[in-house]
Structure formats: structure tokens, C-alpha cells
Amino acid sequence: MYLLIKHIHLIFITFSISLFITRAVWMLMQSDLHQLNWIRKLSQYIDTILLLSAIALTLIIKQYPFTHGWLTAKILALIAYIVLGTIALNRGKTQQGRNIALIGALTSLGYIIWVARSHYSWPWLI
């Protein structure tokens, strides 16, 4: 069961990142495609499955946020990624603000991946 859920999680990570980057490119090109309703809904469905699989994995491996530092770091970085991604794709008032938020979102995403692979909150110290 663990391997099935892990693979679902990894597949939906790929979908989520790919769709985010695609929408970001459309935003940078100043196209309205990133705002299409069905694209936004698809993103929400993908991220819901991603979150559910993440919760299932924490229950299976018995490591929980706010108990295990690396998971806490991932949750906090995920919140930053969501907030910055929302500003970059939807709520940013200026193009410059959206660009800065996009850089922050991608940085948060890189940190999440780094922590997920290393299981350390400060992976650059190991």
C-alpha cells in the first residue's frame, strides 16, 4: 500500500509542478490562458489528490508535522509556495510583483523537494 500511495504522490507532484510552471509561463507571456476556469479547477483537483496522498503517507510512515522537523519545514514551505504562487498567478497587482512572487514560489518549491529527498530541515548543512 505504501508504494502505491508514494507513486500516486510522486505522479501528482509531477502534474502539479508541470501545471504550475505552464501557468507561470503563460502569466509571463501575459496570456489569459493561466486564468481559464477549467485550468484552475484542474489545478485544484490535482493538488487535492496530492494533499490526500501526502496525508496518507504521513499516517503510513508514522511521521507527523510539528513532531518531525523535516515535515514541519515542508508544511511551512508549502504554505509559502501556495501564498506566493497565488500572488504570482492571480493576485499580484503589478507584473513586477507577480515576477517576484513567482521567484519566491519556485524557491519554496525547490526547498520542499530538497527537504523531501533529504528528510532534513536544513539540508544544506549536511
92-108 pLDDT per residue, tens: 889 999 999 999 999 99
CA atoms within 13 A on the CB side of 67: 6
pLDDT digits (tens, 9 = 90+) for 10-51: 999 999 999 999 999 999 998 888 888 999 999 999 999 999
User: Cβ(40)–Cβ(89) under 8 Å?
Assistant: no
Q: Which of 39, 47, 38, 41 is nearest to 15 (CA)?
A: 47
